Amino acid sequence: MTDLADSPAVRRLADWDHERLESLADEHDTPLYVMDLDRVKENYTRFAAEFPDADVMYAAKAHTGKAVLEAVLEAGADIECAAWGELQRSIDAGADPNTLQYTAVNPPDHDLDYAVDLAAEAPGLTITIGASDTLERLAERGYDGRIAIRINPGIGTGHHEKVATGADAKFGIPYEQVPEVADQVREGFDLVGLHAHAGSGVLTEGLEDHCRAIERVGEMARRVGDADLEFVDVGGGYGVPYREDEEPLDLERTSEMVRDAVGDLDATLKLEPGRYVVADAGLILSEVNTIKEAPDTTVVGIDASLATLIRPAMFGSYHPMLNVSAPDRDPHPVTVGGPVCTSADVFAHDRPVARPERGDIVAIGNAGSYGYELASQFHSQPRPAEVALEDGEARVARRRETLEDVTRVEQ
C-alpha cells in the first residue's frame, strides 16, 4: 500500500518541483500534460482508507490514459466505465473484465453489443441501466446477466449545473419507478445492485446536499430489498480545491456523513471517485509567446488553448496558474489566453501571476481530471504529449500528435 505519511490532502502548484517542470517542458516541448502516477496512487489509497469496508472503484472517465489506469489497478482499484471504449481500455491496462462495471447512459447499439459479447466471456461484468427500455435491448441480445439499476434521486450537487446529474432526467430511473423496474429486472436478469451519482466536484461544504441524495439511495435499497443485493453504489463526485483559498475535502467527515446517510445495509457500499484520484496529480505546461498591453488589461498569450483544456470555456472553471520560470517575480494582473480564434479561449481574466515574459513556462494546475479526456484537434492542432512521473523517473505516456495524426482518418 502507498505510504501516506508525506502525502498532503491536496497538492498545490507551489508543491511541484519547478525546476523539473521547466526541464520537462524543455525536453518534451509545450503544451505538455504531466501526470504524477505516484500521486494518483496516493490519492486512491487515501480515499479508500477512509472506507475500509467499502468497494472503492475508479471512475475511468476522469482520465482513461493507460498509464493512469495501470496506476489505479496497482493501487487496488476496480474500474467503473461509462462507455465501451473505457471497458476495452481498462482491459488493455490489465483489468479483469469480471470486475468491471459498465454504467450505460443512453447506450448506442454498438456499446450494448460490445458489453453483451464481453459478458459472455466474463459473466462477472455488471451492466448498470438508466432506462427501463435498456432491459428490452439487452434481452433482444440474449443477455440475462448482472444488472444494477441507476436511480435518479431528484437531487443534484456539484460545482456546476452541467454536472448536477442527480437532478437531470437524462440520468437514471425516476425514483418512484425503481421498485417496478426492480421487479422487471428480477424476472429476466440478475439484480445485483443499485447505483446513483448526484453530481461532481463536491467539497466539504456541499456534503449535506450530496448526502441527501445518498440518503434516498439507501432508502430505495431497503424498499427493494437490500439483503438480496450485492452492492449499493453511491457514485463519485468527490472534489478537490481548484482555488488556492479552498480547503481540501475532509475525508473523515465525508466517510462519516456518507455512512450515516446511506444507513444500515446488508449490501456492500460502493463509491466511484474519479476527479479526487487524478485531478491534482496532473498539470499542463505552456510557453508564453505574446505579451500585449491593452487599455484594460495585459494579455498574455500561451500555446495551450481550449483545445488543450476546455473546462474554463465549458464550465467557467477556475484553474490555478503559476509562472514556474520565475515564481518569485512580483505578481501582475493578466488575462491569459490561447491561440484559438474565439473569445472563449481564455484561461484567466485579471489573474495575479508572477509577471510573465515571452519564453516563460506557465503551469496550469488540477488538469489531471477531464483535461486530456476533453482535449480536441480544433484548428487542426495536434493534441499534446503526456509525460508520466513515477518512482522518480519520467517517461512519455502519450506521444505528441502530428498533423498526420489529425488527418489520418480522411479519405
Other C-beta atoms closer than 10 Å to the C-beta of 6 total 6
Please give the backbone phi and psi of residue 377, each rounded to the nearest 5 degrees, phi first: -110, 30
Contacts with 191 (C-beta within 8 Å, 6 or more apart), sequence order? 147, 148, 149, 182, 185, 228, 229
Pairing of strands 282-293, 361-364: antiparallel
Contacts with 257 (C-beta within 8 Å, 6 or more apart), sequence order? 207, 208, 211
- Is residue 274 annotated as involved in ligand binding? yes
- Is residue 273 annotated as involved in ligand binding? yes
> What is the largest distance, in Å, between two alpha-carbon atoms of the chain?
69
Contacts with 150 (C-beta within 8 Å, 6 or more apart), sequence order? 103, 128, 129, 130, 171, 172, 173, 194, 195, 196, 197
- Is residue 275 annotated as involved in ligand binding? yes
- Is residue 193 annotated as involved in ligand binding? no
CA atoms within 13 A on the CB side of 92: 11
For residue 25 the three cell numbers come to 517542458
User: What is the C-alpha separation between 392 and 229, in angstroms, rounded?
Assistant: 44
Other C-beta atoms closer than 10 Å to the C-beta of 371 total 26
How remote is the C-alpha of 139 from its chain's centroid?
31
Which residue in the list 169, 227, 341, 409 is annotated as catalytic? Answer: 341
**Beta bridge partners of residue 173, listed in sequence order:** 151
- Is residue 272 annotated as involved in ligand binding? yes
341 is catalytic: yes
The residues annotated with a catalytic role in the active site are 341
Which segments are annotated as binding site? 237, 272-275, 311, 370
Which segments are annotated as binding site for substrate? 275, 311, 370
Which segments are annotated as binding site for pyridoxal 5'-phosphate? 237, 272-275, 370
